[in-house]
A and B are shown apart, each in its own frame.
Chain A
Amino acid sequence: MDSLTQKIRELASSILKEGTVDMVMGFAEGTLPMTSKPYMARTPEQADKFIWDSSCTMNLANYITGRKEKIGVIAKGCDSRNIVNHIVENKISRDQLYIIGVPCSGMTDKNRPDHLRDNCLTCTHKNPVIYDVLAAELIEEQKIEAPFADVKAIEAMEPNAKWSYFQDLLKNCIRCYACRNACPLCYCPKCFVDESGPQWVGKGQNETDIQTFHFLRAFHCAGRCTDCGACESACPMDIHVRAFTRKLNKDALDLFGWEAGLDMTKRPPLDTFNPDDPDDFIK
């Protein structure tokens, strides 16, 4: 067992013993090799189940939404940014949380265990943004020369080429909504796809319905997405769902100078009005 896992277990069991928190959220070994599952420990003994390796792709911020008890949560860089999002959006209060920060060196692609995930390759926030205690030393952030090269490649295409690119991208989608369920941002009590009056989007495998779902899901994440890659890791059909949110992240950065989940005192850009907001698109 490596020292990081050891340290996480120690920290988790000590805060459970002291009663600082009612439970600790972390990762436990999954049912298959090289997988992990979210695990909630309520007793110091259960804390021995925690692990930390390169398969902890899920975003634990997803599970703290609207919780009432005091929670200890193990957070890598992107998890902590999503926790900041939740605090800003009043889904949980900072006092309820005890954050065990884990500087993260990237998670592996589930299909290629010797490769990092795409979003980890371009990650510039490996260290947790907020934490109460650290499980390891902070690591050096990488500098990315061209963070949105993939988005720019699509932007350079002709409208019809873009359209066929996205048609091709979504042709395998089975509408399982795993991307939505894995996403810490998707916490609406009733998702627009489940609304029946009016019904915004059909239930079947119709091409337009699939496109509508992905388009709207991505748009709901505009200015909030931290590019944690949980959607893509959850997708059973290996669809590059981040193709949508990446574009929105780029726009948020270009138009508003905004990266989600870095500052607890600021509201997201689509949530506020500022006279300086870009308005070139209005005639």
Chain B
Amino acid sequence: MAEGTMAEKKKTKIVSFLCNWCSYGAADLAGVSRMQYPENIRVIRIPCTGRVTPKFILSAFREGADGVWVSG
């Protein structure tokens, strides 16, 4: 991968709300399996995706997140 694109990547931040039992497990497994995923994903572990409210998503954007990803 060219260096230019790597520098581009660092500019964006994505807040990801991951369910403890589903996607967080998948992220964990991906890590254990040494799979590579984009480093601008910032993980927030939540007990259940049902806990996510619009407030959370708006808060993330207000604090300057470039993207929000909710995954159950």
Say whether A208 contacts B55, CB under 8 Å. no
Interface status of A215 (Cβ within 8 A of chain B): yes
**B27, chain A: closest CB distance, angstroms:** 15
Q: Closest chain B residue to A195 by CB distance? A: B55
Query: How many chain B residues touch the partner (CB < 8 A)?
Result: 5
Interface status of A163 (Cβ within 8 A of chain B): no
The range of chain A's interface size is: under 10
Q: Contact string, B33-69, partner A, CB cutoff 8 A, digits 1/0?
A: 0000000000000000000001100110010000000
Interface status of A200 (Cβ within 8 A of chain B): yes
- CA distance in complex: A14, B54 (Å): 48
- Inter-chain contacts of B54 with A (CB < 8 A): 215-216, 219
- Inter-chain contacts of A208 with B (CB < 8 A): 62
- Inter-chain contacts of B55 with A (CB < 8 A): 192, 200, 216
- CA distance in complex: A200, B62 (Å): 9
Q: Contact string, B3-41, partner A, CB cutoff 8 A, digits 1/0?
A: 000000000000000000000000000000000000000
What are 14 inter-chain pairs, A to B, with CB distance below 8 A? A192-B55, A198-B59, A200-B55, A200-B58, A200-B59, A208-B62, A212-B58, A212-B62, A215-B54, A215-B58, A216-B54, A216-B55, A216-B58, A219-B54
B residues near A (Cβ < 8 Å) are 54-55, 58-59, 62
